[in-house]
Amino acid sequence: MGQEEVKNVLEKAKDWLLSREIAQKARISLGSVQASLQRMIKWGEVETRKAREVIQDQSRIKSNSAGIAYRLKEFSDEVINKATKLKNKVKRKAKK
């Protein structure tokens, strides 16, 4: 249970979600979702914004506190290609 389920929910949504919504869709506890999100943020897989700025339907935001919305970071093909080239370059240097 954890990061894989959170990632799957975010991939399917392709939009900003609250941690509560992720927990409901993945059918796992809110605490587990929040722990997974923190790890994913640390590793650069998820981006965050203030919920009030990115969620159009304000009825989804239940509290008056500043909630956070989450979505997967989108990696372009160009970024992936650069990362792959850099990884291969490092491997070649390590072999020498």
| pTM for the structure as a whole | 0.71
Per-residue confidence (pLDDT) for residue 56, from 0 to 100: 81
Per-residue confidence (pLDDT) for residue 62, from 0 to 100: 77
- Count how many domains the chain has: 1
Per-residue confidence (pLDDT) for residue 95, from 0 to 100: 63
Phi-psi sector, 39: left (phi>0), alpha (psi -120 to 50), beta? alpha
- Residue range of the domain that includes 24: 3-95
| CATH number of the CATH domain containing 26 | 1.10.10.10
Q: Are 50 and 19 in contact (CB under 8 A)?
A: no
Q: Mean pLDDT by 10-residue block, N- to C-terminus, for the chain (96 residues)?
A: 87 90 93 94 91 84 80 67 68 66
Per-residue confidence (pLDDT) for residue 17, from 0 to 100: 92
